[in-house]
Amino acid sequence: MSEVFHFEGPLRAVGTNGRVPGRDPQGSSYRSWVSFSDPDGNGWLVQEVKARLPGRGFSSMDFATLTELLRETEQRHGGYEPTAPKHHWSDWYAAYMVARERGRTSDEAAKDAAVHMENAGR
């Protein structure tokens, strides 16, 4: 197994470029890793999760957490809507919420949702 590392810049799941020794300097969840290869030569990355981000795990989400994520989504959509082409809010909400469930920050999720809307309009 490797020593603990974090990534400088975006995650690179192939190779070791961008890996920096040690835990994530901010101690953020989802940002510190170890890697290993199994006996068959398959490479594995193991990610440290200290606290789940809002929106992770819809199936186990309680009402309060879901309400908080919906309110966050509504707020972020409010910044997107005035300059966006005509769209149905649920398309943007779904893309944003799935991005948050996958561990993206709110800024990253808003960008992902905007890209999704651009691609859906093509």
Looking at residue 39, what is its pLDDT?
A: 93
DSSP result, 46-94: EE--SSPPTTS-GGG--HHHHHHHHHHHHHHHHHHGGGSPS--HHHHHH
Other CB atoms within a 10 A radius of the CB of residue 81 amount to 11
Q: Which 8-state DSSP code applies to residue 105? A: -
pLDDT band at 58 (very low <50, low <70, confident <90, very high): low
Q: Are 91 and 55 in contact (CB under 8 A)?
A: no
**Measured distance CA(52)–CA(30) in Å, rounded:** 9
| Per-residue pLDDT tens digits for 13-49 | 677 788 999 999 988 888 899 999 999 989 898 999 8
pTM of the model: 0.52
Q: Are 18 and 7 in contact (CB under 8 A)?
A: yes
Looking at residue 15, what is its pLDDT?
A: 74
Looking at residue 27, what is its pLDDT?
A: 86
Report the share of the chain in percent with pLDDT over 70. 90
Tell me: pLDDT of 110 over 90.
Answer: yes
In SS3 terms, 24-52 reads as CCCCCCCCCEEEEECCCCCEEEEECCCCC
Looking at residue 24, what is its pLDDT?
A: 92
| Per-residue pLDDT tens digits for 63-82 | 888 889 999 999 999 999 99
